[in-house]
Amino acid sequence: MTQRTSKITTSHWGAFVVSVEGERIVDTAPFDADPAPSEIAHHVPAAVHHASRIDRPYLRKGWLTKSKDTLRGEDEYVPLPWDEALDIASQEIRRIKSEHGNSSIFGGSYGWASAGRFHHAQSQVHRFLNCIGGYVSSYASYSTGAAQAIIPHVLGLNFHKMTWGETNSWSQIEAHTGTLVMLGGINPKNAQVSMGGTTEHTTAAQFERFAALGKRMVSISPQRDDSPDQTDWIPIEPGTDVALMLALAYILEKEDLVDRKFLSSHCVGYEQFLSYLLGQSDSQVKSPQWAAPICGISPDQITALAKTMGSGRTLICLAWSLQRARHGEQPYWMACVLAAMLGQIGLPGGGIGFGYGAIGNVGKSALRLKGPLFEQGKNPVEDFIPVSRIADMLLNPNGAYDFNGQRRSYPDIRLVYWCGGNPFHHHQDLGRLSRAWQRPETIIMHDPWWTATAKRADIVFPATTQFEREDIGWAKGDPYLFHMPQMIPPVGQARDDYEILTQLAARLGCAETFAQGKSAEQWIVKAYDRFAENAGHDGIEIPSWEGLKSSNYVRLPIDVGQADQVPFEAFRTDPLANPLGTPSGKIEIYSSTIAGFSYDEVPGHPVFHPPQTQSEYPLRLLSPQPGDKLHSQFQAAIEEKKSHAALVIHPADAEDRGIQQGDPVKVQNNKGSCVATAMLKTTVKPGVVSLPTGGWFSPSAGRVDLSGNPNMLTDDCGTSLLGQGAAAHNVGVQVIKASNTQ
């Protein structure tokens, strides 16, 4: 009988126990210290050993034979020995560099491939590309592109620094906040994952504690289940949060609930904004009576909420989803203005917060250590694109575009090197991306599975999963440190990204620069020792690498609790001595810098843009993160158990269309359609449907995506000329009952 062994590892969704028999993972179990473990780990055994694993290197037949008769995504693949595939890949990289230069190479990677700190696909491929002369990079993220553009202009600091630093902790909220206003909600389902992992899942428990303390918690969202049951739900029309906040601001102004001293001493531009708020600049007063029919919230509700916010300590929280729509910069800017009007920025439990519930660890009380990493080096190529403008770049080589005050040109990309990630899951308007994906001369991909992106590459290298290699597990804000042991040998002929890139570097003459003669284990020990040294400077003792391997994990004493630093406290105490990083050193309610960009859609203060609607597509589509997986990971194993993705639709909208619970449906607009299974629930506002992302894009000849991926339907356009972020939400669709789903 084969002996079973069990060890603990971690992941982006937390720690869990992995049981192995022979060379197969057979089971997983929760980590004892996690009060609310994620269910995602249950899919690990089936996914790791799934038939969709890439077993050896492959080259696309049409690319190999230089045939123009087949398109990426519609071709066959030819298996090759490792050495031959590596030789061909290195020769192609050398050719592209020689003929077109490094500015013709795009380095794609989205960072979620593994929670391990060394075998981090993004770091690996970017280091390799830097060693061969550089590459065109991407800026910001799909999740927060618009926020990353606007927050530095308004609050003068990097958005992610604010998320992880200048943010009220849960302990501060518990001790000081009276009213928690959540625009877009705070969803424990989303908080089950975090970059590098969140070991103790506590978001849902926090709401139970808040409720027991009698705190007012208001969730303003088109979906009831965007927040736990303890919150008061105010349904809102998608894309109208700015109109609501303007009406709240109007009541604060009219009822003299504004902290005018704070506005005078810590902010600039309130008078310019006030002219817009009161309708002096555009002849439209932003009153509750104006906002009510736009938002679907009564004037009395708006007025009551404003008075509640102005009568005690209030924390305004925004979900990341609000800025993933056209003009996504505006709700973030307007929320900052609303918080400034209340005058509580810099007080414990008050002000503004972003990202609670978007990912785990935000708001946790912990000393922020400098983590272990694999250095990427310096990129000699300065050119970049906003991350979600990939299709624009490929379709418009040398085309001009605007971004955050700059007039830029898209590079002419001939080679795409992608390692870790699946853009044919998370990018918008996948039909358009499919057309753009035909433009480069060569696409090289590392992936463990035949994802939609792997099926559209020319050279495909089989990569190991985190269970087939050793690594360090650590995440910012998380007190746990893990040795991530190798559980099983590599599946098929899979190799680590580091081994693949080292072999390519040797062929390209830069092995010493990339690998420095070190094995993966030697790099891991070096990164770990540097981490331990840095932690020691902060007074935190880290066990030796061998000690960590022996214990499997350790919980570090980095909890801070009530000793948390209050966000913006120093600025509040003395704004002259502790200015923000804005041109004025203050909160910029009106930004002369942005006004100077002369973007009609983004003037110098926040404004409301009504969502675009089309009568033939009357339902507003939301595309939230899935609850049963991280993005699209493990989808191959999951889809075997489910017929189609679940579309949440209100019973009234379903009845109008003759749709019943469990019916197959098509969700469609002018970009195409996708199939789903109807789930009738009153947790979604009438006129709104919700379809989670995560499907492995599988289009039929008739532009029907059989995986149920909502990005078949979303708009591939920038949020605005300022941020050029992803604008996935609030597109119009129609839903029809389907007799078949082909």
Distance of CA 300 to the CA centre of its chain: 35
Q: Which residue in 112, 410, 449, 696 is the catalytic one?
A: 112
Q: What architecture is domain 58-140+372-473+480-555?
A: 3-Layer(aba) Sandwich (3.40)
Q: For 707-742, what is each residue's pLDDT tens digit?
A: 999 999 999 999 999 999 999 999 999 999 997 655
Query: Residue 578 and residue 469: Cα distance in Å, rounded?
Result: 47
Given a contact cutoff of 8 angstroms between Cβ atoms, the answer to whether 712 and 308 are in contact is: no
Work out the pLDDT band at 14, boundaries 50, 70, 90: very high
Distance CA 414, CA 100 (A): 8
pLDDT at 643: 64
Residue bearing the bigger pLDDT, 298 or 166: 298
- pLDDT, residue 1, reads 66
Among 340, 361, 451, 334, smallest CA distance to 73 is for 451
Residue 708 is classified by DSSP as: -
Q: What angle do CA 328, 330, 332 make, to 5 degrees?
A: 85
Average pLDDT taken over every residue of the chain: 96
pLDDT in tens, 551-601: 999 999 998 755 578 999 999 999 999 999 999 999 999 999 999 999 999
Query: Helices in 269-380 by DSSP H: which ranges?
Result: 270-277, 288-295, 299-309, 329-342
DSSP class of residue 226 equals: G
pLDDT (average), residues 641-662 = 92
Helix orientation angle between 241-254 and 270-277, rounded to the nearest 10 degrees: 100
Which residues lie closer than 8 Å to 690 by C-beta, 6 or more apart? Answer: 222, 223, 621, 622, 623, 624, 647, 648, 684
| C-alpha count within 13 angstroms, C-beta hemisphere, residue 227 | 27
Q: Using the 8-state DSSP alphabet, how is residue 280 labeled?
A: T
Residue from 63, 110, 276, 320 carrying the catalytic annotation: 110
Coil, strand or helix: which one is 287?
coil
Share of the chain above pLDDT 90, in %: 92
The per-residue pLDDT for range 185-219, each reduced to its tens digit, is 999 999 999 999 999 999 999 999 999 999 999 99
- What single string gives the DSSP state of each residue in 159-207? HHHHHHTSS--HHHHHHH-SEEEEET---TTGGG--TT--SS--HHHHH
Q: Where are the alpha helices (DSSP H) in 471-515?
A: 497-507, 511-515
CA distance 23 to 5: 11
| pLDDT recorded at residue 559 | 86
pLDDT in tens, 242-270: 999 999 999 999 999 999 999 999 999 99
User: What's 156-367+582-596's CATH class?
Assistant: alpha beta
- Asked if 2 contacts 22 with a C-beta cutoff of 8 angstroms, the reply is yes
Q: What is the mean pLDDT of residues 88-94?
A: 98
Averaged over 141-154, what is the pLDDT?
Answer: 97
250-259, 430-439, 638-647: least confidently modelled range? 638-647
Q: What is the pLDDT of residue 742?
A: 53
Contact by Cβ (8 Å): 224, 684: yes
Q: Is 112 a catalytic residue?
A: yes
Q: What is the DSSP string of 665-727?
A: EEEEETTEEEEEEEEE-TTB-TTEEE--S-----B-TTSEETT--GGGTS--SBS-TTT--B-
Structure tokens at 147: 């926020």
- Cα–Cα distances (Å) from 540 to 362, 370, 566, in that order, read 21, 12, 22
Q: Which fold has domain 619-737?
A: Barwin-like endoglucanases (2.40.40)
Q: How confident is the model at residue 403 (pLDDT cuts 50, 70, 90)?
A: very high
Percent of the chain with pLDDT over 70: 99
- Tokens found for residue 157: 């600091």
Non-local (6+) Cβ contacts of 214 within 8 A are none
Whether the predicted pLDDT of 668 surpasses 80:
yes
In terms of residues, how long is the chain? 742
| pLDDT, position 40 | 97
β strands within 545-687, DSSP E: 553-555, 587-588, 619-622, 646-649, 664-669, 672-680
- Residue 297 CA to residue 513 CA, distance in Å, equals 60
Determine the average pLDDT of the residues in 504-524.
Answer: 98
Give 320-351 pLDDT, tens digit per residue: 999 999 999 999 999 999 999 999 999 999 99
Residue-level pLDDT at 368: 82
Q: Residues 287-305: pLDDT tens digits?
A: 999 999 999 999 999 999 9
- Count how many Cα atoms sit within 13 Å of the Cα of residue 544 in the half-sphere of its side chain: 3
Q: Which residues pair with 19 in a beta bridge?
A: 6, 27
Q: How far is CA 299 from CA 148, 218, 246, 255, 302, in A?
A: 33, 16, 12, 15, 5
- State which H helix or E strand residue 250 sits in: helix 241-254
**Long-range Cβ contacts of 498-505 (<8 Å, 24+ apart):** 498/118, 498/119, 498/124, 498/523, 500/86, 500/446, 500/461, 500/463, 501/124, 501/125, 501/127, 501/128, 503/82, 503/86, 504/86, 504/89, 504/90, 504/93, 504/128, 505/128, 505/131, 505/132
545 is catalytic: no
Least confident of 86-95, 265-274, 366-375, 403-412: 366-375
Q: What is the pLDDT of residue 644?
A: 75
- Confirm if 418 and 410 have CB atoms less than 8 A apart: no
Q: Provide the CB-side half-sphere exposure for 431 (13 A, CA).
A: 19
The DSSP H or E segment spanning 648 is strand 646-649
pLDDT of residue 602 exceeding 80, the answer is: yes
* pLDDT value of position 740: 61
Check if the beta carbon of residue 647 is closer than 8 Å to that of residue 689.
yes
The residues near 683 (Cβ < 8 Å, ≥ 6 apart) are 223, 224, 225, 648
Tokens of 522: 């030697």
Each domain of the chain, given as residue ranges in start order, spans: 58-140+372-473+480-555, 156-367+582-596, 619-737
Per-residue pLDDT tens over the stretch 36-48: 999 999 999 999 9
